[in-house]
Amino acid sequence: MLRLGKREFGDHEPVIMAIVNRTPDSFYDQGATFADEAALSRVAQAVSEGAAIIDIGGVKAGPGEEVSAEEEIRRTAAFVAEVRKQHPDVVISVDTWRHEVGTAVCEAGADLINDAWGGVDPKLAEVAARYGVGLVCTHAGGAEPRTRPHRVGYEDLMADILRVTLGLAERAVDLGVPRDGILIDPGHDFGKNTRHSLEATRRLGEMVGTGWPVLVSLSNKDFVGETLDKPVKERLLGTLATTAVSAWLGARVYRVHEIAETRQVLDMVASIAGHRTPAVARRGLA
């Protein structure tokens, strides 16, 4: 069972995490939800389309203008409080690697800390434990936040992913983070080239086999773009194909930009797997 905030999710229940960037320079939407009104509208739309988790980020993942912890807090904490007020039952996640930000957003009502940079700040897990919130434990290949991989290599990629993510997860449990609120993430594109991200997808079943719920953040990423030679705005089909494969292999949570399209893919895979009945059943019955 996965428990986040007020929500409990069954073992075969795919969960959509909608991306809401509070940044002026995000790689995908280029600041479309930087303003409060636009961001709140995005949250409302995401919830209506079936997102159970809203993932709020105050700093873009890639290189760019430096953003201090104080500025990141300014972009996220008050917004978390407003989302909590308007959507009391939604799970609120915040994408940050800094414990100062983690503390501020937990005080504001966050339910989950999405540590996409793999425990680079060990105090962040301590914050999750102190507030009793969930934690995403990610493999980033030892990369520093906001850096791109350069000639990175692994003797056995999945062995390294498991070593790092399981180590972070067990440390979180030891610190007091609720076991049923911890997810592991292979970290597509983070500390990896395109071939690494494809291999991580292909071998995702090895992560699922550990028993920890697996989160995948695939949406419109560079490994999709390079695989198909497509620019950012033309990566939806590749993203959805990767989503379907990940769902078949057992991933539980999907961090995405396009919620409605992802919902259809996940519902279709769940029905093929026998975990969901068709929405209607008329064919051959008349």
Would you list the DSSP string of 214-249?
BEEE-TT-HHHHHHHT--GGG-HHHHHHHHHHHHHH
150 Cβ contact partners less than 8 Å away, ≥ 6 residues apart: none
Question: Mean pLDDT over residues 209-222, rounded?
Answer: 98
Taking domain 12-273, whether its CATH number is 3.20.20.20 is answered by: yes
Question: Would the pLDDT of 27 be above 90?
Answer: no
Question: Mean pLDDT over residues 174-179, rounded?
Answer: 98
Q: What is the pLDDT of residue 26?
A: 82
Question: Would the pLDDT of 25 be above 90?
Answer: no
Catalytic residue, chosen from 84, 221, 235, 252, is: 221
39-49 tens-digit pLDDT: 999 999 999 99
Cβ–Cβ < 8 Å for 178, 134: yes
Report the C-alpha gap between 111 and 212 in whole angstroms: 18
Q: What percentage of the chain has pLDDT greater than the value 70?
A: 100
CA 89 to chain centroid: 19
Q: What is the pLDDT of residue 275?
A: 97
Residue 99: its H or E element: helix 99-108
Quote the pTM value.
0.96
Question: Mean pLDDT over residues 124-151, rounded?
Answer: 96
Strand partners, 163: none
Catalytic residue, chosen from 255, 263, 276, 282, is: 255
Among all chains, which residue has been given the structure tokens 């259809």?
264
Q: What is the pLDDT of residue 237?
A: 98
Closest CA to 51 of 265, 269, 258: 258
Residue ranges of domains in the chain: 12-273
Q: What is the pLDDT of residue 75?
A: 97
Among all chains, which residue has been given the structure tokens 């995490």?
17
Report the C-alpha gap between 79 and 34 in whole angstroms: 11
Among all chains, which residue has been given the structure tokens 């995403």?
136
The angle at the Cα of 196, spanning 147 to 216, to the nearest 5 degrees, equals: 80
Question: Would the pLDDT of 123 be above 80?
Answer: yes
Q: What is the pLDDT of residue 189?
A: 97
Question: Would the pLDDT of 28 be above 90?
Answer: no
Q: What is the pLDDT of residue 161?
A: 98
Question: Would the pLDDT of 285 be above 90?
Answer: no
Res. 57 pLDDT band, cuts 50 70 90? very high
253-256 and 91-95 beta bridge pairing? unpaired
Q: What is the pLDDT of residue 159?
A: 98
Q: What is the pLDDT of residue 1?
A: 87
Cβ–Cβ < 8 Å for 208, 11: no
Q: Is 221 a catalytic residue?
A: yes
**How crowded is residue 194: how many other Cβ atoms within 10 Å of its Cβ?**
17
Question: Would the pLDDT of 242 be above 90?
Answer: yes
Q: What percentage of the chain has pLDDT greater than the value 90?
A: 94
Question: Would the pLDDT of 286 be above 90?
Answer: no
137: tokens are 């434990």
Q: What is the pLDDT of residue 2?
A: 98
Cβ–Cβ < 8 Å for 143, 195: no
Closest CA to 98 of 145, 138, 130, 148: 145
Higher pLDDT, 150 or 202: 202
